[in-house]
Amino acid sequence: MNFPDYRPRRLRKNENFRRMIRETKLSVDDLVYPLFVVPGKDRKKPINAMPGNFQMSIDHLVKEVQKTKELGIPAVLLFGIPDKKDELASGAFTRDGIIQQAVRRIKDKVPDILVITDVCLCEYTSHGHCGMIEKGDVDNDTTLEVLSETAVSHAKAGADMVAPSAMMDGQVAAIREGLDEAGYENTPIMAYSAKYASCFYGPFREAAESAPQFGDRKTYQMDPANGDEAIREIQLDVAEGADIIMVKPALPYLDIIRRAREEFDLPIAAYNVSGEFAMIRAAAQLGWLDGERAMMEALTSIKRAGADIILTYFAQDAARILGK
């Protein structure tokens, strides 16, 4: 096919042609909306680095989840910020923890939306790391026990799916075993399989109050330079029983999403993280970008790379556009 016989512009000359041959279809069905819940009542605190997002008490959270459902978004992802933190992350797995309370309330008031819970310890530890500290470092195997107990407590509260994000070796197997032994063999696991040690998490750490108090997370999150390692990490999670695999962040790692799509036949999630959101939102507020177009282009690129599920703080805004 050569010019002048073949002219690609023939099928671009109006929106109906473009719609008819569009290869990638972004849908509201692809979206998951992350939310932050805190103890108390009538609390709705803006997150400075993530305009339009809030830390919310459960009463406000339920209203936000209801709005999310009305927009057609199928699922929310919950992060909890407890009123007290300690070295043992005890707020992560207690029956009356903030996530456990929030899940029960949502399932009572908005039963038809999927509730996914983040399973990590950084929001609950006084030191801000994702696991138990032994001799100044995060101890992998001790952490597995706490992650499993946390996941089971979420399932008991009514969570539809758990999403372990601590990047501990063996975390999926430990959680699968814990869920199965507790009678929750039908609770799926969405594994943060390839989670990079990224600077794009900065705004989230304000939102979740989870910045490490010493050191960093490079000993357990992945080196941004590595691609083959991501495939090995995903292979491990698949072998351990993951139902959905995730790449995080999304936009700087579209190549990893594509490789995962080509090598694995499980559903693939991608997390359009806080820093990706903040860049677009800030540029839009300054008038440097058309924020709406940039948002939709970014989300479409994630879908085009091969993601089936997109976790994004843009979920409600994107759903309004997709629903027109």
Q: How many CA atoms lie within 13 A of 307 on its CB side?
A: 31
Q: Which residues are catalytic?
A: 195, 248
Rounded CA-CA distance 195/137 in Å is 19
Rounded CA-CA distance 281/289 in Å is 9
